[in-house]
């Protein structure tokens, strides 16, 4: 079901029966988030504190149409929100993605919005997380900032 209202448009391509008119702007995209390996992520996976790793993994790829309908400006960022958390990442187009599927490379930015539940098998569900995506002016946190709020006990480890 698509909600097309002028002030706050939510579009859910998986549930929609019709294609979105290209003239409409979408404020909030309901999408399915998947994560996975990429060459850039892999090549820098032993250099995770490097700017290269940041560049390779702190983005969200969207289909061309979803990218356009969200009205993302050049080199713009998106806020990805799931029931487990939210994260700001830069936005990219990927012609290989179908409507309503977004891709974030395996890494700390993707895992900010993945849930801990393992369904009794030990493995969280890293792919197929229901997410909402919107354009944002917020900045992408670097890897240190992402974990800055997790307080260490400090001092003598007991």
Partner 1 sequence: MAEDVLCPFCGCLCDDIKVEVENDQIVGVKRACKLGSSKIRGHERTKAPMVRKDEELVETSYEEAYDRAAKILKDAKRPLLYGWCSTVCETHKKGILLAEEVGGVIDSTATVCHGPSIIGIEEKGLAGSTLGQIKNRADLIVFWGANPAEAHPRHTLRYSSNSTGMFTPDGRKGRKVIVVDVRETRTAKNADKFLLIKPGTDYEVISALRMIVAGKGEIVPEKVAGVAKSDLEEAAEMMKAARFGAILFGLGMTHSRGRYKNVDNALSLVADLNGFTKFVVMAMRGHYNVAGFGQVCAWETGFPMSVDFSRGAPYFNPGETAACDLLAKREADAMMVVAADPVSNFPRATVEGMAEIPVIQIDPFPNPTTLLADVVIPSAVCGVEAEGTAYRMDGLSLRMKKVVDSPYPTDEAIIQNILDRVRRLGDDN
Return residues touching partner 1 (CB under 8 A). 14, 32, 34-39, 42-50, 84-85, 94-98, 101, 103, 106-108, 111-128, 143-144, 146-147, 150-158
Are residues 60 and 80 in contact, defined by beta-carbon separation less than 8 angstroms? yes
Phi, psi of 12 (to 5 degrees): -120, 90
Distances (CA, A) of 149 to 67, 144, 145, 146, 152: 31, 9, 8, 8, 9
Please identify, using beta-carbon distances, which residue of 14 and 71 lies nearer to partner 1: 14
Residue 35 CB, shortest distance to partner 1, in Å, is: 8
Residue 92 CB, shortest distance to partner 1, in Å, is: 13
Residue 5 CB, shortest distance to partner 1, in Å, is: 26
* CA dihedral for 36, 39, 41, 46, sign (positive or negative): positive
Residue 23 CB, shortest distance to partner 1, in Å, is: 26
Please identify, using beta-carbon distances, which residue of 25 and 143 lies nearer to partner 1: 143
Structure-token pair, residue 55 = 């560049």
Are residues 103 and 94 in contact, defined by beta-carbon separation less than 8 angstroms? yes
Please identify, using beta-carbon distances, which residue of 17 and 74 lies nearer to partner 1: 17
Task: List the helix and strand counts (H, then E) for the chain.
Answer: 5, 7
Residue 98 CB, shortest distance to partner 1, in Å, is: 6
Please identify, using beta-carbon distances, which residue of 74 and 151 lies nearer to partner 1: 151
Please identify, using beta-carbon distances, which residue of 17 and 152 lies nearer to partner 1: 152
Are residues 146 and 93 in contact, defined by beta-carbon separation less than 8 angstroms? no
């Amino acid at each position: 079901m698509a909600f097309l209202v002028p002030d706050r448009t939510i579009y859910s391509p998986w549930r929609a029966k019709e294609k979105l008119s290209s003239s409409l702007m979408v404020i909030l995209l309901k999408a399915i988030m998947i994560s996975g390996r990429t060459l850039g992520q892999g090549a820098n996976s032993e250099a995770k504190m490097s700017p290269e790793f940041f560049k390779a993994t702190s983005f969200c790829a969207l289909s061309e149409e979803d990218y356009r309908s969200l009205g993302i400006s050049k080199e713009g960022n998106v806020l990805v929100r799931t029931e487990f958390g939210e994260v700001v990442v830069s936005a990219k187009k990927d012609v290989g993605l179908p409507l309503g599927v977004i891709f974030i490379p395996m890494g700390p930015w993707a895992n900010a919005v993945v849930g801990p539940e393992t369904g009794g098998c030990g493995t969280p569900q890293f792919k197929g997380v229901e997410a909402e995506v919107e354009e944002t002016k917020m900045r992408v946190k670097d890897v240190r900032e992402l974990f800055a709020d997790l307080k260490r006990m400090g001092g003598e480890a007991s």
